[in-house]
Amino acid sequence: MFESAPGCYLILKPDLVIAAVSEEYLNATMTKRVDILGRHLFEVFPDNPDDPGADGVSNLRRSLETVLSSKAANAMAIQKYDIRRPDGAFEERFWSPLNKPVLNAKGEVFYIIHSVEDVTLKVLHERELNKANDEIRDLYDKAPCGYLSVDENIFLTNINKTLLDWMGYTADEVVGKMKYEDLLSPESRAAHLSTFEVVFADYVKNGYVNDLEYEFQRKDGSTFPTLVNSIAVLDEHGNFTQSRSSVFDNTQRKKAEDQLKAVNKELEGFTYSVSHDLRAPLRGINGFTKIVQEDYADKLDAEANRMLNIIMTNSNKMAQLIDDLLSFSRLGRKNLLKSDVPTDMMVRSICDEFKKEEKNRNIEFRIKPLPNIKADRMTIEQVWVNLISNAVKYSKLKDPAIIEIGCEERTTEYIFYIKDNGAGFDMLYVDKLFGVFQRLHSSEEFEGTGVGLAIVHKIVTKHYGKVWAQAKVGEGAVFYFTLPR
């Protein structure tokens, strides 16, 4: 009856000889009843000889001796006690043992019930879980950026080793003792606290904030610039419970920005030089050429007048080239001011202007409905002017010149296009199309400075869009550009 009872049990005599065993115990230990009954416990179940740290026998012996002396049950902590398989090799096992005495009428220990629960799978699972947690913690602590969390009272609850090393603190000095603002320099702290309520309300509402600039102050008083991104963790009622924030050392970026400011300052000086110093000789060339034409026209033959006209024409081309270069250089320094742009109305107005300028040409504009967008109005208008001007220019040999303008609306972006039936170009050279001074047609065929499409590329790129073209020689071209929604 005992042998078929549920559970893993051994009945031991006071001398630790096995008197009885349950079926479950036999199955769990891969033994047979005939092989273990009447034998000493530790003869049947020795320590694993290949494990120098094995202490199952000594721990179990100590527990059983305690039961014999105290005549009371003794529950053991989980034990690593490997089991010998029938082939003689040992298999790793973990057990949760309980040893209980059975007393006779005289109060002496008659038997000991040694019961165990095989917890091997549980222990191995916990071991793997702990290993994974250790790896995650290691990744957290040794990440190339700082991590921190705050609670609902903005006290720091967690901070990784990277950020601690940057700051010169230990975790004990900050966790639960410092608030987020205590990590900031006095100036940054004052700015942070002055807008905290509004910024925090938006943070909780949106669930995140990105690219907040703060100046952190180290324990030694020195400071460094940072970029902070954070996710808000809310409870089921929408109340803030904690943050999960990443902190990036922004020192190198700030240095690069300072260097860029210095370069831009030099560029501004160069721009001033171009705009004034180079224009002066051109004005002189134009002025003296006009004087010669006006005062000596009757003394010059036709060839001389032709040459003077060439001087005037090339001088005007140089002036236009200088204007285009200045426009291109200013774009790099211009900040975008985004607003609602009525694209359809803007494009139709531009096309009307070109119709007036080219009134002697047969130009047919086919404009499909265009969406309103968020963009910098002035620069986006320049994109449309340059691309439509391009289509008008390169279709001048067609009658009629057909220019189609439209848009494909996608989930994350708008794809605008300007299609013409003009000269087109060889796609072999498409990579040169948007470079400064890169022209695929000679200036004798089509006028221009080779800067217009470079300006288009720079403006669209600053709006986080893309620009490209497709064409076939003699059959026209299509220019595309995207803008985010």
Average pLDDT over residues 116-135: 92
**Distance in angstroms (rounded) separating the CA atoms of residues 367 and 4:** 90
CB 351 within 8 A of CB 388: yes
- Cis peptide preceding 371, ω within 30 of 0: no
Q: Say if residue 79 is exposed, middle or buried (CB neighbours under 10 Å; 0-12, 13-18, 19+).
A: middle
Angstrom CA distances, 294 to 286, 289, 298, 316, stand at 12, 9, 9, 18
Q: Which of 289, 306, 331 finishes a domain?
A: 331
Give the phi and the psi of residue 99 in degrees, each rounded to 5: -115, 120
pLDDT of residue 368: 95
pLDDT of residue 20: 94
pLDDT of residue 447: 63
Helix, coil or strand: residue 248: strand
Q: Are residues 158 and 196 in the same domain?
A: yes
Helix, coil or strand: residue 52: coil
Task: Give the total number of structural domains in the chain.
Answer: 4
Answer yes or no: is 129 within a domain.
Answer: no
User: How would you classify the pairing of strands 240-249 and 146-150?
Assistant: antiparallel
Structure tokens at 238: 């929408």
Angstrom CA distances, 7 to 4, 28, 463, stand at 9, 10, 72
Answer yes or no: is 167 within a domain.
Answer: yes
Q: What is the DSSP letter of 278?
A: I
Mind giving me the DSSP string for 107-148? S-EEEEEEEEEE-HHHHHHHHHHHHHHHHHHHHHHT-SSEEE
Structure tokens at 302: 């036709």
Answer yes or no: is 407 within a domain.
Answer: yes
- pLDDT bin (cut points 50, 70, 90) of residue 376 is confident
Q: Which of 221, 249, 277 finishes a domain?
A: 249
Answer yes or no: is 455 within a domain.
Answer: yes
For 358, residues 6+ apart whose C-beta sits below 8 A from its C-beta are: 392
**Distance in angstroms (rounded) separating the CA atoms of residues 130 and 120:** 15
Asked if residue 244 has pLDDT above 60, the reply is: yes
State pLDDT tens for residues 135-165.
888 888 888 999 999 999 999 999 999 999 9
Asked if residue 2 has pLDDT above 70, the reply is: no
Answer yes or no: is 1 within a domain.
Answer: no
Q: Are residues 368 and 473 in the same domain?
A: yes
**Distance in angstroms (rounded) separating the CA atoms of residues 412 and 258:** 34
**Distance in angstroms (rounded) separating the CA atoms of residues 399 and 406:** 22
Q: Are residues 302 and 381 in the same domain?
A: no
Mind giving me the DSSP string for 176-208? TT-BGGGGB-HHHHHHHHHSHHHHHHHHHHHSE
pTM for the whole structure = 0.49
9: which strand partners? 115
Structure tokens at 197: 């309520």
Q: Are residues 478 and 362 in the same domain?
A: yes
pLDDT of residue 297: 73
State pLDDT tens for residues 184-207.
999 999 999 999 999 999 999 999
Q: Which of 195, 214, 249 finishes a domain?
A: 249
Is the C-alpha dihedral spanning 18, 23, 24, 28 positive or negative?
positive
Answer yes or no: is 133 within a domain.
Answer: no
Helix, coil or strand: residue 5: coil
pLDDT of residue 331: 60
Q: Percentage of the chain with pLDDT > 90?
A: 60
Measure the CA angle with vertex 298, ends 294 and 303; round to 5°.
90
Q: Are residues 38 and 104 in the same domain?
A: yes
**Distance in angstroms (rounded) separating the CA atoms of residues 173 and 152:** 19
Q: Are residues 102 and 42 in the same domain?
A: yes
Q: Are residues 320 and 435 in the same domain?
A: no
Asked if residue 94 has pLDDT above 90, the reply is: yes
Q: Say if residue 433 is exposed, middle or buried (CB neighbours under 10 Å; 0-12, 13-18, 19+).
A: buried
Q: Are residues 244 and 270 in the same domain?
A: no
Query: What is the distance, to the nearest Å, from the Cα of residue 34 to the centroid of all Cα atoms in its chain?
Result: 66
pLDDT of residue 325: 62
Q: Are residues 227 and 308 in the same domain?
A: no
Answer yes or no: is 137 within a domain.
Answer: no
Domain harbouring 344, CATH code: 3.30.565.10
User: How would you classify the pairing of strands 401-409 and 363-367?
Assistant: parallel
Structure tokens at 89: 């090799």
> Which residue in the block uniquely carries the two structure tokens 């991590």?
147
Domain harbouring 198, CATH code: 3.30.450.20
pLDDT of residue 442: 47
For 391, residues 6+ apart whose C-beta sits below 8 A from its C-beta are: 403, 418, 419, 420, 422, 477, 479
364: which strand partners? 402
pLDDT of residue 277: 63
Structure tokens at 441: 């047609």
Helix, coil or strand: residue 30: coil
**Distance in angstroms (rounded) separating the CA atoms of residues 178 and 167:** 13
pLDDT of residue 378: 85
Least confident of 134-143, 150-159, 259-268, 302-311: 259-268
Asked if residue 168 has pLDDT above 60, the reply is: yes
CB 22 within 8 A of CB 2: yes
CB 218 within 8 A of CB 224: yes
Of 180, 238, 181, 248, give the one whose Cα is nearest residue 212: 248
Average pLDDT over residues 240-261: 89
Amino acid, res. 83: I
CB 164 within 8 A of CB 171: yes
- pLDDT bin (cut points 50, 70, 90) of residue 44 is very high
Q: Are residues 284 and 349 in the same domain?
A: no
Task: List, in sequence order, the alpha helices (H) in 301-342.
Answer: 302-331
CB 470 within 8 A of CB 478: yes
- pLDDT bin (cut points 50, 70, 90) of residue 243 is very high
Give the chain's mean pLDDT: 87
Q: Are residues 266 and 220 in the same domain?
A: no
State pLDDT tens for residues 422-466.
888 888 877 777 765 455 544 555 565 567 788 888 889 888 999
Domain that residue 295 falls in: 256-331
Answer yes or no: is 134 within a domain.
Answer: no
Q: For the chain, how many residues are written?
A: 485
Is the C-alpha dihedral spanning 271, 277, 281, 284 positive or negative?
positive
Average pLDDT over residues 225-243: 94
Average pLDDT over residues 29-47: 95
For 330, residues 6+ apart whose C-beta sits below 8 A from its C-beta are: 271
Which of 2-6, 18-22, 360-364, 470-474 is the most confident on average? 18-22
Q: Are residues 369 and 294 in the same domain?
A: no
